[in-house]
């Protein structure tokens, strides 16, 4: 670990996956943040969320207390851009720790690094402005009340049927369709077979809620991967359609198939995340009754032309 001095806290970098005391300290910190902000998603036991396992970790401490934390994804997104998740403990906000945290990250990170601001918090916007960072991406969180939604039956075009995902069989086909469907997306486009297999081991994974649209030869044309959170909230986790199979309402039909599954489970609420500039998807979701709940944005010193 190497240290960066600060008048208000000690800032130390930890490289690699946190273990032992550091892992417990970061988990306790993230749980305290999530209790107030609603994110990040972290469990009280088990491994840290995948987003916080590798890369570099910046710990801001006062004595033995962790007051600020930033994770720097050194491998980067699908376009090679480093990405930062930064948080301040709810009891330590308003002390300038966030500003120093961002300054320390910028001193280490590669050019064009991107900072997430979940909920587009005003304090994050102020810090971004202080360092000349501009908003380069906006992701919407949308919500649907299933108890009042009037959802139509899915309509499948001729030659298409729907079945559920088979672990050990469908990973490669799924990843190939996903690659073509999300070649523009900073995170989803980088999905690998290993990522899918790792997710299959997560407690929430359920192949019964993972729908594939296939043709007469069982070739995967599109998919809808649903998720049920520990608190009982459903999610349209990912909907993807092969560009060669787009048109004819396949994405909408897949979305409806997954929503029907979540209704059958007795869930009353479902969420999804969608890029604000993905107008076709936003239009479909609004047509089904989804409403904007909040926005998550990324700030960067570099404005590039990639859609993501």
Q: DSSP assignment of 28-61, as one string? A: HHHHHHHHHHS-S---SSSSPPGGGTSSEEEEEE
**The pLDDT value given to residue 307:** 54
Whether the bond into 40 is cis, omega within 30 of 0? yes
Q: Which tens digits make up the pLDDT trace of 190-231?
A: 899 999 999 999 889 999 999 999 999 999 999 999 999 988
Equal fold, 2-132 vs 143-295: yes
CATH number of 2-132: 3.40.630.30
Please indicate if the annotation marks 297 as binding a ligand: no
User: Is there a binding annotation on residue 196?
Assistant: no
Query: Model confidence over 180-189: pLDDT tens digits?
Result: 999 999 989 8
| 252 carries a ligand binding annotation | yes
Q: Is 187 annotated as a binding residue?
A: yes
d(CA 211, CA 23): 35
Cβ neighbours for 40, distance < 8 A, ≥ 6 positions apart: 30, 33, 34, 49, 51, 52, 85, 87, 118
- The pLDDT score that the predictor gives to residue 289 is 96
Q: Is 87 annotated as a binding residue?
A: yes
Question: Quick check: 232 and 126 in contact, CB under 8 A?
Answer: no
3-state secondary structure of 214: strand
Predicted TM-score (pTM) of this structure = 0.88
- Report residue 177 as tokens: 């369709």
What does the pLDDT read at residue 308? 55
- Is 141 part of any known ligand binding site? no
Check the annotation: does 173 bind a ligand.
no
Is 3.40.190.10 the CATH number for 143-295? Answer: no
What average pLDDT does the segment 102-122 reach?
Answer: 94
The CA distance from 72 to 74, in Å, is 6
Is 55 assigned to a binding site? Answer: no
Domain boundaries, the chain: 2-132, 143-295
Question: Annotated binding residue at 273?
Answer: yes
């Amino acid at each position: 670990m190497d240290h960066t001095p600060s008048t208000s806290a000690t800032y130390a970098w930890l490289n690699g996956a946190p273990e032992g005391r550091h892992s417990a300290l970061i988990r306790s910190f993230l749980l305290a943040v999530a209790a107030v902000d609603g994110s990040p998603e972290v469990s009280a036991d088990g491994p840290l969320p995948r987003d916080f396992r590798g890369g570099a970790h910046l710990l801001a401490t006062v004595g033995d207390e962790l007051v600020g934390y930033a994770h720097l994804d050194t491998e980067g997104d699908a376009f090679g851009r480093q990405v930062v998740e930064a948080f301040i403990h709810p009891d330590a906000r308003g002390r300038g720790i966030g500003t120093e945290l961002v300054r320390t990250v910028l001193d280490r990170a590669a050019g064009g690094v991107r900072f997430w601001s979940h909920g587009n918090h005003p304090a994050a916007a102020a810090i971004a402005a202080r360092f000349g960072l501009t908003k380069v991406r906006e992701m919407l969180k949308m919500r649907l009340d299933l108890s009042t939604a009037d959802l139509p039956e899915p309509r499948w075009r001729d030659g298409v049927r729907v079945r559920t995902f088979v672990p050990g069989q469908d990973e490669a086909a799924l990843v190939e369709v996903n690659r073509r469907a999300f070649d523009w997306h900073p995170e989803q486009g980088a999905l690998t077979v290993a990522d899918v297999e790792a997710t299959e081991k997560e407690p929430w994974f359920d192949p019964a809620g993972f729908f594939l649209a296939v043709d007469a030869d069982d070739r995967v044309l599109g998919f809808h991967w649903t998720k049920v959170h520990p608190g009982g909230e459903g999610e349209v986790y990912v909907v993807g359609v092969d560009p060669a199979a787009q048109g004819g309402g396949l994405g909408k039909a897949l979305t409806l198939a997954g929503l029907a599954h979540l209704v059958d489970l007795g869930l009353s609420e479902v969420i999804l995340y969608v890029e604000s500039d993905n107008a076709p998807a936003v239009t479909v979701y609004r047509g089904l009754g989804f409403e904007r709940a909040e926005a998550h944005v990324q700030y960067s010193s570099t404005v590039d032309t990639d859609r993501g």
